[in-house]
Structure 1
Amino acid sequence: MAGQRLAAEWVRAWCEQTDAALTELVHSFQARHGFPPGRNVIARATEESHRATDALVELTPIPSDLTTVYWVVEEVSLPDVDSGFFLHPSSMVASHFREYGSIHLDGEEPAVVFASDGGGHLFALAGSGRVWRSTTASWFGQFDLAAAGLQELLEGLAQRITAQL
């Protein structure tokens, strides 16, 4: 929803619904693919991850929707969904920010890298709330628009899990 802030209640509901679909996917994975699944998890936030999120906010003004997600979710690791999807823990985002800085996009506020896929493509969230995906496995290449916001990105991820059932 463009222009609307992401609500923690929505993120919690997304976690519950997505966890249910993910459980079903993992249970049927080996029968469908002939090998066991990897570690597919949506890890909930902890006191330690809250401290890491607070440190990230002090380091860089991350978009509020990402702070909301990190207040509910520590990380997402889905190696068996499509080519994989990984929402990095806020401590990793801070480490990468210190090393690489923000992503600069034409006509967009600086963006912070917060996720990647199994092919090494990066996902960055701009101050506008829009999500961008690198066209190559590089911090310094081109980024294309991937979603209008985090909610759209997470909804699409849930749909990809359901589509694999």
Structure 2
Amino acid sequence: MALAKFTGSFHGTHGFPPDQNAVMLATDDSHRATGGLVDLTPIPSDLTALYWVISEALLPGIDSGYFIHSPATAAEHFREYGSVPVDGEAIVFASDGGGHLFAISDSGHIWKSTTASWFDDFEVAASSLQEFLEHISQRITSRP
């Protein structure tokens, strides 16, 4: 609902139409992809629960953009790059429009890369997946 309100008022506020913002619900295929990701590496239960409800989110019109990757994309990236060595291990599950990566660690913390790289430093962006999602929600609802 908030995303629809934000998208509807975007043009009047900014003078140009928003990019395509969408949240895709999970499907049987994305559930299988989540199972495949779990087979590759243990992932925090919060991420599994998220992927059980949504398969991905494309929010290019929010700040510089937020993109929650599908479980198939997260698995593909894990196979190609491995985990991020922070707080034990962390798996990349999202990015922003600037190429910064978001990873969730075994502790549930969300880490953001300091550059658009898999191999540079990461810093804590949120204490939990819920806090990370609430931050995005606040960015959506705080728009006129």
TM-score normalised according to structure 1 size? 0.86
1:131 deviates by 0.5
1:61 aligns with 2:34: no
1:156 deviates by 0.8
1:33 deviates by 1.3
Matched residue, 2:32: 51
- The structure 1 segments of at least 4 consecutive aligned residues displaced by more than 4 Å after TM superposition are none
Matched residue, 1:17: none
- Runs of at least 5 residues in structure 1 that lack an aligned partner in the other structure: 1-19
d(CA) in 2 for partners of 1:163, 1:27: 14
1:113 aligns with 2:113: no
1:91 aligns with 2:67: no
Match of 1:150 among 126, 129, 138: 129
- Secondary structure at 1:123's aligned position in 2? strand
State the Cα deviation string for residues 110-131 of structure 1 (Å, max 9, x = none). Answer: 0000000010000000001110
- Runs of at least 5 residues in structure 2 that lack an aligned partner in the other structure: none
State the Cα RMSD in Å.
0.7
- Secondary structure at 2:30's aligned position in 1? helix
1:34 aligns with 2:15: yes
Task: Report sequence identity in percent.
Answer: 57
Q: Report how many residues are paired.
A: 144
TM-score normalised according to structure 2 size? 0.98
Match of 2:114 among 130, 135, 146: 135
